[in-house]
Amino acid sequence: MQELLRAYAITFGWAIVGSVAMGAGIVIALKLFTLATRGVDEWQLVKNGNIPIAIILAAVIVSLGLVVSSAIQP
């Protein structure tokens, strides 16, 4: 029983680490993307229904998720 609780605690710990890393990573990545595309207001374009910009932002977030998930695997 002790071994099972230890395994659950480790899994829960990695979930917390992954969540925090992903949250911080998204904020940093989107800020860097916004700085890299000066003169373009991506969020206003998404609000106006510009699907290609929304796809690009989604690709940035998904690629960050892949990097974070590969970095935190035990």
Please list, in sequence order, all residues whose beta carbon lies within 8 angstroms of the beta carbon of residue 65, skipping any fewer than 6 positions away.
Answer: 22
Q: What is the mean pLDDT of residues 30-36?
A: 88
pLDDT tens, 8-30?
Answer: 999 899 889 888 988 898 899 88
pLDDT of residue 34: 87
DSSP 11-58: HHHHHHHHHHHHHHHHHHHHHHHHHHTTT--HHHHHHTT-HHHHHHHH
pTM of the entire predicted model: 0.67
Total domains in the chain come to 1
Q: Which domain holds residue 58?
A: 2-72
Cα 19 to Cα 51: distance, rounded to the nearest angstrom: 27
